[in-house]
Structure formats: structure tokens, C-alpha cells
Structure 1
């Protein structure tokens, strides 16, 4: 472990390198006469220490502001959605599935605990009552990894087999409609909201998807092709002029998504619900991802997709200067709140 005094680069506003949280923490600790101790390898984890020896720990973007139990619940999407739904908050119809291998392991460990036929019936009942397309995602996934939009029952069987090779628990969810938003909250205050749009191309009536995709997130090419194939779209397809084609089923910024700040005040049902979601899980610092047709109508419908107890803001800061400034302001408020844990 190494102590990290603020560098001259940080004091002048020039990023000296390293993780975003590390860079901002160095500057904040120097201004507040606090010691910052980081792990030697990556500077990914560490603690802040006051003059009287009190410490506040962090790893990545997970800070001591949230209780451990609440953070663990938030990491488990099924639990989090269940507890938010119990408070009357709008969530998509969801079914949790356990992999056959995990079911077998649990059956051997605790005979009678797992009823494999019950899961099969639950899935059949879910499919009978829910229209396609559906979404399938890992129960503990991050950054949109392995999220799939599934158009049919046959495709669902293929996706479940593929994803169960990598994950023990999956969520099958009803498709929710609307534009996607994220709001970041600290101690009962919504700090900012953004609208997120996934990577897409726009047809010109002459170029194929393959041509339109050229030099467009080449690192995601395999995932893009897999998504297009799942939607029965060929890279040889020529989209009509002005026709937008989504390249991935998610809007995550780490997957090529774009963000813009929501400047207008949120409708009361949405803002009240965002704060209620944090209370339902017991979080002080979190982000809510949700869908809504519009945030200008007080009577708008909205659906919570998930709650995140450790929202990463580095990708948002890379979007543009305005976003970078908002991220810095957010972390300043977060670090100031952390200082209260050192008293």
C-alpha cells in the first residue's frame, strides 16, 4: 500500500493518469488534509484516513456510504426488483432462472431444496402470459454484458443454453417500452439525470449494414453481429433512408452508448419513485436505470430496470467536457459525504 499526496498535475487540473476516482480523490484529500492510501498494483482500492486515524474504505466505485447488506441486495437484480416491487414501484415482469448445473449442485447439497420441475413450469407459465420479444440478462451482470433481446421461443432456448454456460442465474424479463434514462442519487438528492442511447446506424437507402457499421465500434463487432443475427437481420441488409438500426440491445456507455443531460425537472411520480427505490433497498448513493416515453409529462408511465449501488461515472466523463464537469461535481459531493464517516 502506498500513500498518495496530491500531485502538481492534479492541482492544476491536468489528469496525471490512473483511475478517475483515484485522480479526484488525490486532489480532494490534499485540499481537506486527509491521507489517501491506495493499493500498489492498480490504485483501484484503498482508504481515506483522518488525522485521528479514522478510515473510510473503497474499492472501485464502491464506498462506505452504503450498508454492506443493501449493497449486496442491489448487486442481485432479482432481489432488488422484488423489494422495489413490494413498495409499489414499477418494475418489469421478471422470472429468475437457475442453471441446470447449479440446480443439480444444490440438489446434492440440500436434498429437497430444489424442485427442477417447478422452474420448468414457472418458465412455461411466464411464456404463456408474456409476449416476445423478451430480454435475458445475468442476475449479477454489469455494463450490459450478455444482455440479449430475444425474439422467439426457439431463440430463447438457444440463449439460455449459451448464457448458462457462463452464469448460474439469469433473468427473463418482459420488454418495457420507452427511452432509457439514468438518475444518480446521494442522500435523498437527485444529483443529475441523463438519457442514454445505444449504438446505432442510420440507413441511407444505398449502403448495407456492413458498410454502415464500418469503423463503428470495431471492438464490439462480434457482439453486434450476434445481436443482429438474433433479430433476423443480415449485415447485407440495406436499411431504408433515415431508418435507425440498433446495433446492441443495451445503452451502456461502455458498449458504445451516448448520453445527454436531462435539463428539465423530472415529473414528480418519477423523482419521488427514484428516491423511494433507494429507501426500499437502503442505499444512500446509487443510480436508477429506467424507461419512460417522456420526462415532460407529469402523468408519464415509467419502469425501473435496475438499481446500482456503485455507479461508474468514468465512461460518462469521457462523453464531453460538460459531462466531465458534472462527474467531477458529483464526486466532490460524494467525497464530502464520505468525510462525515470520518468524524
Structure 2
């Protein structure tokens, strides 16, 4: 059955673009049977392609800039060359295919051989991952070996970074301006007054796996239980939170805090500079702000979702940003 707008939950960007087109008198052209993952916008003889999911939603981001930003190791290299503060990032390969095409010393065997000499805890994630997939705190050498065994069948490259204990912010940059910021909370479970913690944890992992994302490991659940003095069989009180450290995204129960359109000057300047260094027009820049010291870039997302804006009820701002992006893209296409 071909999905239609009435039978399929459209992605965030598809919904916003349809609304903007209706308001601006532009033509929205469906290109995938109403699923919302590929469409075009037409006006005054100009046409631009847009999409959702794996497609970069923003037509003002070039293919080169988007592809580089998807690669966390490449992004770190560009930021380093630009002299911008960022989290140190090591690239490692966890599969042996195409080994002859790369310099030696960055293979899984090399990483495992030096595991005992590393400083822990550290943070590991796929080099081209998203939505917190396999983004985990690694406590020790045994934990690193376990992580490599679990991730190898799914991802071919990982990055390793030092664990930074600091507030994390997302700054949204469009057209050289920092448009808004919000803090990113740790993921976690929220009680409903009916289910026990074990059932809530199982439901979270079932949803993650249904979305093709890695489950939260049992150790984080056990640590969260200990933090609030609870047992797996305890009923989770309505609104009660159980922290799941490591992932700060909506998929694992994280949420935006302190949303504002008046961006902190230091965060905004760093986000704008990082976006420009990568040649992007639209970016969601994740930044750590240590209590003592200067902010540093964690990641630059070249295809940021508007789901946080929607969850905050900031749909007018989302539509204003989309109107700006599409207007400039259409003007360039004429």
C-alpha cells in the first residue's frame, strides 16, 4: 500500500514545508507517494528538492558540506584547522574491509591492544551515527572490548572522545545567524504511576530497536536505579525520573531545557564559526559549556530536526526559519 498524507505520520520537516508552501503560495510537489521523505518546492519557475530522513532537508546546504559534517572525524579535522575549540576525537575502524586503503594503526586490533593503557571513563559512538545510536560511556578496558563486539556488526567506524562533564547546548544556526539555543538534558525514564521501572525500561528499548537504534545497556539502568534508590519492580511514580546517563536526545527520554532566542554570545559565536568553517548554511551545533573554561564544540549536525521546536510549541519559529531557507533556495535557483 502506498502511504498517503492521511495514512502516514509525516516527518517534522515535511509538515513544516507543506505549511510554509500553503502560506507563501508556493507549490509543494510530492515525489514519494505521500510518505514525506522526498518532495520539491516550486515558485516563479524555480524548483528545489527537499526531503526528510536520510535526505538533507535543507537545500541551502551543499552536498559536500553535508557529507563532511556527517563524518564526526572529518568535522573535528575541519574545526581543528580553523582553530576552533572542540572535543578531541579519535577515529577507529572496527571492520577489516578496505584496510589496504587507509594508513595502519587505527584498526580494531590496535585499539584493543592499547585498551588497558587508556584513561577511563571515555565516550564512544559511531563516526556517522545519529539519534544516540551506540553513543555510550565506556567505564574500563573490558567495557571497551564489549562495546566493540556489540557495534562491529552494525557500524564500520567509531570515534572515541574524552568524557566531558559539562552542560550541553544545541545552538541552531541559519544563514550566518544563531537563531535559538536550548540545553540538552540527560536521557531517562519518566514514571506514569502505573508501570514499574523494569517495564518502562523494556518499553524504551523496544521502541529504540523498532527505530533501528541500539538499546540502552542494562548497566545504565542499574546505575539509574541506584541513583534514586529504587528497585526494578517498584512502581514509577507519576513524573518521577530515572536518569540514563550518556545519551541526551529525545529518543532516550532527553528533553530541551531553557529554550531561548537570545543566544549566549560565546555559544553563538562558536556555533556560527563552526558552521561557517564547514561551509554550511543550516546547522545544529552541540556545544559543551564547562563551568570553568571556554565552550567547545561536540558535534555539528548538518541535518538538524525541528522535533524539539515542535515539542516546545515553537512552530511559528520553525515555519519562519523554513520560509527563510526556502525563499533563499528558490531565489538562487531562478
Q: Partners of 1:238 and 1:300 in 2: how far apart?
A: 28
Residue number among 69, 72, 87 corresponding to 1:92 in the alignment: 87
Aligned to 2:203: 218
What are the superposed Cα offsets for residues 287-327 of structure 1, whole Å, 9 maximum, x if unpaired?
Answer: 10111146xxxx852221100111011x2144232x33433
- Kindly tell me: are residues 317 and 279 of structure 1, through their superposed partners in 2, closer, same or farther at Cα, counting changes over 3 Å? closer
Residue among 9, 15, 25 paired with 1:23:
15
Pair 328,283 (structure 1): closer, same or farther in 2 beyond 3 Å:
same
The structure-2 alpha-carbon separation of the partners of 1:286 and 1:217, relative to structure 1 and needing over 3 Å to count, comes to: farther
Cα 1:86–1:40, aligned 2, differ >3 Å: closer, same or farther?
A: closer
Match of 1:49 in 2: 42
Distance 1:300 1:35, change over 3 A: same
Q: Which residue of 2 aligns with 1:115?
A: 104
Provide the C-alpha distance between the structure 1 equivalents of 2:66 and 2:124, rounded to a whole number of angstroms: 23
TM-score with structure 1 setting the length: 0.77
Q: Please, which of 158, 167, 172 is the counterpart of residue 184 of structure 1?
A: 172
Normalising by structure 2, what TM-score? 0.79
CA contact (8 A) 2:115 2:141 kept: no
Q: Quick one: which of 157, 178, 187 aligns to 1:169?
A: 157
Q: Number of residue pairs matched?
A: 311
Deviation of the 1:127 alpha carbon? 6.8
RMSD over equivalenced CA pairs, Å:
3.6
Cα separation, 2, equivalents of 1:172 and 1:194: 25
**How do residues 248-267 of structure 1 correspond to structure 2 at under 5 angstroms?**
248-263=245-260, 265-267=262-264
1:337 matched to 2:334: no
3-state DSSP of counterpart to 2:251: helix
In the superposition, relative to structure 1, how do residues 153 and 67 fare at CA in structure 2: closer, same or farther (>3 Å)?
same
3-state SS, counterpart of residue 66 of structure 1: coil
Give the distance between the partners of 1:33 and 1:278, measured in 2 at CA: 31
Match of 1:271 in 2: 268
Could you say if the C-alpha distance between residues 24 and 86 of structure 1 is closer, same or farther in structure 2, counting changes exceeding 3 Å? Answer: same
Tell me, what secondary structure is at the counterpart of 1:340? helix
Question: Does 2:128 align with 1:140?
Answer: yes
Cα offset for 1:141? 0.5
Mark the runs of 5 or more structure 2 residues left unpaired by the alignment: 231-239
1:199 partnered with 2:187: yes
Whether 1:58 aligns to 2:50 is yes
Q: Deviations over 1:201-247 (max 9, x none)?
A: 699xxxxxx94465468233697996454459368747349x97521
2-structure distance, mates of 1:342, 1:30 = 20
Distance between the aligned counterparts of 2:208 and 2:10, measured in 1? Answer: 28
Distance 2:202 2:186 in 1: 12
Mapped partners of 1:23, 1:89: distance in 2? 35
1:233 matched residue in structure 2 = 222
CA distance in 1, matches of 2:202, 2:308: 17
Q: 1:237 to 1:34 in 2, by over 3 A?
A: closer
CA distance in 2, matches of 1:292, 1:238: 24
Partners of 2:9 and 2:221 in 1: CA distance: 43
* Deviation, structure 1 residue 175: 0.7
Q: Indicate the structure whose relative CO is greater, using CA pairs within 8 Å and at least 6 residues apart.
A: 2
Change (3 A) 1:324 1:157: same
Counterpart of 1:206?
none
Q: Are 1:92 and 1:175, in contact at CA under 8 Å, matched by a contact in 2?
A: no
